[in-house]
């Protein structure tokens, strides 16, 4: 029973991601060198480039079918749950009667009625819809991220719901983007990425497709309401939260660039709003939004160092509300 619920969830999330990515790519121009903001809102953008087409095929989400020893990507966070509301989804479990009816319908070439949508835990607000940060896409080199696994190294099925892990950059947003664009296939230790980066001016930079496993945290554990969660997918590496994490990084203020400080002047209002806007589109609950500092077990990561959770949650709660 739990399996079928989980598979339905994955299917639903996959469809949302596919719809959102198609929406995103159909409106976006890939920025290859500079972090240039789009002055138009996404709905006004009609720019296409060969890079878009290439990535559109590369990041097409897969619906996982659990096959031991054959890792398949697990989708994670939905970039836009508004799209989901118009996508008909198959029902998780069907009675034999329903299955027979469906067969009969198919035989008779009749239209099958769309099934009811699974309930989502949050709804975005009018305030959310009135706010639109600028954004750009600067895809990381594929050597800096991987697929999400459906089983761990022991062949155990992985069912962790997604978490969101917040970070900050060590230097400017542009410098981080340059790092992620570097092909690091020759050196495993240099492979690093976040899914999304938020610049000081609130510009949202999409780096890694949400259905992929970004390399944002090494040795790490999430301690949630359900206990300890971490996943080992590589015998040579410590377990990590990467397999079920969506990593978002804030551009650090210039006064802390390349300095190992325990606090700094903080993040801009634009960053807090853009971050809340991004997260409001996911179904990840508040208590699964965490920091690199909280999940790190290497003893070396303390970012984001001056993050104001109260301020962030206040904004987030004006952007999304829990469904009754």
Minimal distance, residue 301 CB to Zn ion, in Å: 5
Compare residues 61 and 216 and give the one whose CB is closer to Zn ion. Answer: 216
Compare residues 229 and 303 and give the one whose CB is closer to Zn ion. Answer: 303
How far is the C-alpha of 6 from the C-alpha of 158, rounded, in Å? 10
- Which residue bears the tokens 């080199």? 141
Minimal distance, residue 293 CB to Zn ion, in Å: 8
Minimal distance, residue 250 CB to Zn ion, in Å: 10
How far is the C-alpha of 180 from the C-alpha of 138, rounded, in Å? 9
Compare residues 167 and 288 and give the one whose CB is closer to Zn ion. Answer: 167
How far is the C-alpha of 199 from the C-alpha of 249, rounded, in Å? 9
**What's the gap between Cα 231 and its chain centre?**
17
Compare residues 30 and 256 and give the one whose CB is closer to Zn ion. Answer: 256
**Tokens read off for 224:** 């949630």
Classified as helix, coil or strand, 169 is coil
**Tokens read off for 95:** 């009675």
Give which of 217, 175, 211, 162 is closest to 193, Cα–Cα: 217
Minimal distance, residue 97 CB to Zn ion, in Å: 52
Compare residues 134 and 288 and give the one whose CB is closer to Zn ion. Answer: 288
Minimal distance, residue 167 CB to Zn ion, in Å: 3
DSSP secondary structure string, 52-82?
A: HHHHHHHT--------TT---------S-HH
Minimal distance, residue 218 CB to Zn ion, in Å: 10
Minimal distance, residue 242 CB to Zn ion, in Å: 12
Compare residues 283 and 303 and give the one whose CB is closer to Zn ion. Answer: 303
Cis peptide before 304 (omega within 30 of 0): yes
For the beta carbon of residue 137, count every other beta carbon within 10 angstroms.
Answer: 21
Looking from the CA of 278 toward its CB, the CA atoms found within 13 Å total 30
Compare residues 167 and 320 and give the one whose CB is closer to Zn ion. Answer: 167
Task: Give strand ranges (E) for the chain.
Answer: 122-124, 135-137, 145-147, 163-168, 196-198, 204-206, 212-214, 222-224, 227-229, 245-250, 289-291, 320-322
Compare residues 37 and 294 and give the one whose CB is closer to Zn ion. Answer: 294
- Which residue bears the tokens 């999409």? 206
DSSP H or E stretch at residue 106: helix 96-107
Residues that bind Zn ion (CB under 5 A): 167, 292, 303
Minimal distance, residue 179 CB to Zn ion, in Å: 13
């Amino acid at each position: 029973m739990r399996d079928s619920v989980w598979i339905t969830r994955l299917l639903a999330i996959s469809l949302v991601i596919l719809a959102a990515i198609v929406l995103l790519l159909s409106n976006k121009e890939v920025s290859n060198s500079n972090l240039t903001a789009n002055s138009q809102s996404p709905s006004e953008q009609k720019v296409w480039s060969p890079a878009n087409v290439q990535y559109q095929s590369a990041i097409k989400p897969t619906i996982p079918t659990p096959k031991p020893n054959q890792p398949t990507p697990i989708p994670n966070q939905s970039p836009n749950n508004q799209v989901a509301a118009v996508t008909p989804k198959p029902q998780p479990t069907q009675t034999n009667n329903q299955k027979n009816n469906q067969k009969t319908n198919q035989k008779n070439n009749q239209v099958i009625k769309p099934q009811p949508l699974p309930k989502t835990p949050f709804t975005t607000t009018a305030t959310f819809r009135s706010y639109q940060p600028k954004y750009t896409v600067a895809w990381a080199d594929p050597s800096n991220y991987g697929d999400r696994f459906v089983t761990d190294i022991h062949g155990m099925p992985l069912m962790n719901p997604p978490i969101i892990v917040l970070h900050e950059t060590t230097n400017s947003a542009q410098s981080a983007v340059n790092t992620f664009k570097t092909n690091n296939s020759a050196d495993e230790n240099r492979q690093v990425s976040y899914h999304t980066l938020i610049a000081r001016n609130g510009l949202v930079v999409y780096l890694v497709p949400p259905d992929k496993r970004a390399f944002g945290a090494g040795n790490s554990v999430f301690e949630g309401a359900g206990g300890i969660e971490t996943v080992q997918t590589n015998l040579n590496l410590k377990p990590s939260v990467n397999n079920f994490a969506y990593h978002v990084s804030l551009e650090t203020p210039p006064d802390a660039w390349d300095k190992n400080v325990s606090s700094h002047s903080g993040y801009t209002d634009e960053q807090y709003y853009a971050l809340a806007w991004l997260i409001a589109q996911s179904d990840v609950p508040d208590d699964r939004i965490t920091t690199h500092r909280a999940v790190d077990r290497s003893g070396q990561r303390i970012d984001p160092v001056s993050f104001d959770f109260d301020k962030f949650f206040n904004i987030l709660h004006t952007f999304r509300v829990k469904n009754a």
